[in-house]
Amino acid sequence: MRAYFLINSEIKILAIIFFSLFIGFLFGGIPFGYLIPKIFKKIDIRNYGSKNIGFTNVYRTLGYLYGIPVLILDISKGFFITYFSKELFLLPVFVGIGAILGHLFTPYLRFKGGKGVATTIGVLLALAPKNLIFSLIIFLIVLIIFSYMSLASISFALSLPLSFILIKNQNPLILIFFIIISILIILKHIPNIKRVIRKEEPKFRLRVK
């Protein structure tokens, strides 16, 4: 009888983990970087610039009036679904992972999404704000020095596990989360790394278009 309850409990935990990932994935997969240019400018952003649906490509192609809303919405979708996950009886860390995976591989655009940094910022704002501050400082320093958004994003990803060590977060799941997300963000930026090496990567400039 005890074994039955243990197995039943494990099944419930696995079910909660699955639904946490699934709900996060569906919510995080909302492609605001695709929807805003499509609705307001009648263009498919995937046909312009880097062909990415993230903030940077929308900003470079259409300017801050379209780029900033994409940034805010991508951060917000990561934050809100993670922050309120407990109200839905879900697990915040797994919801956060699901949200970022949804952005990286959005199911609404044949699993081709953005680079994941903005949504990760939103998730971290809900899960680990102190770690977020540390990683954002690293991000801004690299961006100011080198002016490469991709290099700053990679530095942001690499700094996440380091922030866990320095800030001494007590939740071991957070470290696993940091490692998984760091790897995914870096893998998504491999084409950018190649362009930086070839000196073909465009630098990030503040401008109005």
Domain carrying residue 191: 2-197
In which band, very low, low, confident or very high, does the pLDDT at 191 lie, cut at 50, 70 and 90? very high
CA distances from 25 to 4, 29, 67, 108, 164 (A): 31, 6, 23, 11, 24
Q: Which residue has the tokens 């909660």?
A: 16
Is residue 75 included in any domain, yes or no? yes
**Domains held by the chain: number:** 1
Is residue 94 included in any domain, yes or no? yes
Higher local confidence (pLDDT), 101 or 171: 101
pTM score, two decimals? 0.92
Over residues 5-37, the pLDDT tens digits come to 555 678 888 999 999 999 999 999 999 999 999
Is residue 142 included in any domain, yes or no? yes
Over residues 81-100, the pLDDT tens digits come to 999 999 999 999 999 999 99
CA angle (203, 206, 208) in 5-degree steps: 125
- How much is the average pLDDT of 38-60? 95
